[in-house]
Structure formats: structure tokens, C-alpha cells
Homo-oligomer: A and B are copies of this chain.
Amino acid sequence: MVRVTITQVAAHAGVSVASASRALNGQIASAETVAKVQHAAATLGYVADATAQSLKRGRTKQLAYAVADIGNPVYVEMMSAIERVVSASGYRLVLSSTGTSSSSVDVVRDLGRGYVDGMILSPLRVTDELLTALAKTPTPVVVLGRLPDDVNLDTVRADSLTAMRLVVGHLVAEDRRDIAFVNGPVDTTPGAFRRDGFAAAVLAHPLLTTRSVDAEDFTISAGYAAARQVLEGDRRPDAIVAANDLIGIGAIRAAEDLGLRVPHEIVVTGIDNTELAGVVRPGLTSVDLGAEERGRVAAELLLARIAEPSRAAHTVTVAPSLVVRGSSVHRPNTQGHASPADRSTEATGLGEERAAG
């Protein structure tokens, strides 16, 4: 199998390359030419070279998704949603990990090479350097996560404040009065906003006693360590609000290891409503931040901007919803569960309730 070019197709069909191109792309051409060219193309097994088309047309039909930690279920969920929208629109999706080797800034700078028509970026930290790079790049970028107010970019974000209000409100309704917040690193975007959201949510409930501790990472093990420290202190809280599901699961484990029953002696909640939350026992009450929707909307915004580069920047905030599971409800059948359906089904099943944000 050797590469066959449009020149060969044209020769085989007995027409010029221009006519061949037109016939292939549905431009004006006589029915006879179209027939001859299509026949030639089929015979020769011609497929247009993507690179040459990109160079000529000035667009690659590729979009990038850049994220630090692919492997985190939340980002995977977003990626799936993005991939669906992107491929349905005839684009390919390239994955740009902004891990150890290259930072978000490098990735954005690299956009100048024009290997994609646009990018969805999920930065772990928003630095001035990043904002500068974003301002300079000629390629459209949609940012997942909160940006300073004066930045004029398409943005999709979760609503940490409402998320925390849902959690805290739920805990108060469950008669919890002493809440420990186990956050992840506060120098990350989610860490900072969840901290602020928790603080704000608590203000609405003057009778609450609260405290905060930062886990070293948004992981089960870091959550375990941080929660254990909290639970071993002399004044034990009656609820732990974890900054994400992994930390929350770590907290459940810590409670178990200390012989504390969840939720009877200690209530635990998470954030993200990942698949894990529905799989652990007791199920982890969690706030769904709408990862799927955020991914989908981000992709749609990007496509819209590519279609109309001069349109105004949009900021979309996706409403969170609370999914109540056994880790936070004092019902007789708290340890029980519904059918082991997937998450969406589960949310309507026994032992789980969803409250809109």
C-alpha cells in the first residue's frame, strides 16, 4: 500500500487535479466528471491527505484537551463528554498532559504551532504567566475552572459555593453541629475555591463549630492521614466534609480503623460524585459538580468560538446537585443500598436522594 495522491486520481479520471478536487469536495462539477473522479478514487483507494488539507485550508480539524492528571475520574468523565461532542462535529481530540514534563503554560505556548484549532484547558493553578500566555495565543481556548473576573475568555466552571451550601445545609439538617473540613492543597484552584465556599456556607449557620485541615493531596491516602489526625484529636467532630471523593473515602477508612461507625458516630461527605462514591459502603454522600456537563459545554463553547471568533466571551456555571448516600443519613437501612445500577440510575434508587443546587 503506497500513498495515492489526488494527482493520480485526476490522471486516472482524465481530468485536471482542480476538477478532481472539486468533484471530491462537492464543488461545482459536471455529473460526468464527478462520476469519473469518484470511480477513479474508489479504484485507486484514494483518501485525501489530512496534513495537506490542513495546510491549505488553515485548519486542522483537531481540538486539544489539556489536563494535569488524566487518570483522575473527574477528568476522565469530562474527557469522555468532550470526546463525544468533538468527534460528532468531525474533529479529532488530542490529549495534552500538563503533568511533570510540561506545564499549562508550555501547552498554551505550543498552541502557536497550530497543531489544533482550539483547546480546552483544565489548569491546576492559574498563574499570571498562564494568563499572559492565554492572552497572547491566537488559538481559541476554553478554560475549565474559575478565572479572574477581568479575564475575557470562554469559561466553564463549577459552583463551589453552592456545592458547599448543599453539603453544609444537609449536615445541619442531619443535626450535625461540629464539622471538620478536610481540604486538598489550597494552592490549587479547586482547593482555594472549596475552602472559600466552605467558609461562606458556614456563615449561614451561626451555631456551627468548624475547623479545617489540608490533606497533602486529593487522594485516598492523603485523606486518610488528614482525617485520622482530625478524628484522633481530643474533640472529635460529628461530621467530615471532604474536598473530593477520594479524600472522603480516605476519611471513611480512617473512621473505620478507629472503630467509629459511619454515619452513626461520624458523618462523611465528598465532592465530585465519582463512580467510587456509589461503590464504597456505606455509599459516600457527594456533590455532583456536573463534570459531564462541564465537559460537554466546554466543547460546545469552543466549537462556537471557532465558528465565530469575534463573538463575546461566555462564562457558564454548572449547577451542582447533592447526592445523598449512606455515609450521611441516619436511617435504619443506612448500610443497605439499592440495586447496583450505574450512577444515574442509583441516584433515583433507594438510599439515595438527589437535591438540585
Query: Hey, which chain B residues are within 8 Å of A79, CB to CB?
Result: 70, 95
Cβ A51 vs Cβ B60 within 8 A: yes
Cβ B87 vs Cβ A97 within 8 A: yes
Separation of A92 and B102 alpha carbons in the complex (Å): 12
**Is residue A112 contacting chain B, with contact meaning CB distance below 8 A?**
yes
Cβ A55 vs Cβ B51 within 8 A: yes
Q: Which A residues from 193 to 246 make CB contacts under 8 A with B? A: 219-221, 223-224
Query: Hey, which chain B residues are within 8 Å of A45, CB to CB?
Result: 112, 136
Q: What number of A residues sit within 8 Å (CB to CB) of B?
A: 62
Copies of this chain, count: 2
**Is residue A339 contacting chain B, with contact meaning CB distance below 8 A?**
yes
Choose among A76, A101, A110, A345 the residue with the greatest number of B CB atoms under 10 Å from its CB. Answer: A76
Least distance between A280 CB and chain B CB atoms (Å): 6
Separation of A80 and B75 alpha carbons in the complex (Å): 12
In the complex with contacts A54-B51, A94-B62, A224-B339 CB distance below 8 A = yes
Q: Which A residues from 56 to 99 make CB contacts under 8 A with B? A: 60, 62, 70-71, 76-77, 79-80, 83-84, 87-88, 92-97
Cβ A339 vs Cβ B221 within 8 A: yes
Separation of A50 and B342 alpha carbons in the complex (Å): 42
Cβ B340 vs Cβ A115 within 8 A: no
Least distance between A108 CB and chain B CB atoms (Å): 12
A340 partner, pick from B3, B62, B93, B224, beta carbons under 8 A? B224
Separation of A275 and B245 alpha carbons in the complex (Å): 13
* Interface set of A (CB-CB < 8 Å, partner B): 1-3, 45, 47-52, 54-55, 60, 62, 70-71, 76-77, 79-80, 83-84, 87-88, 92-97, 101-102, 109-110, 112-115, 136-138, 219-221, 223-224, 249-250, 253-254, 256, 275-276, 279-281, 337, 339-342, 345
18 contacts between A and B (CB under 8 A): A1-B138, A47-B110, A49-B55, A49-B113, A50-B114, A70-B76, A70-B83, A71-B76, A79-B95, A88-B101, A92-B96, A93-B95, A94-B94, A219-B342, A220-B340, A221-B340, A250-B340, A275-B276
Closest 4 pairs (CB-CB, A-B): A50-B115, A253-B340, A47-B112, A50-B113
Given contacts A92-B94, A253-B340, 19 further A-B pairs with CB under 8 A are A2-B138, A3-B114, A47-B110, A49-B113, A51-B51, A54-B54, A62-B94, A62-B115, A70-B83, A83-B95, A83-B97, A93-B94, A93-B95, A94-B95, A95-B95, A221-B345, A223-B340, A253-B337, A279-B280
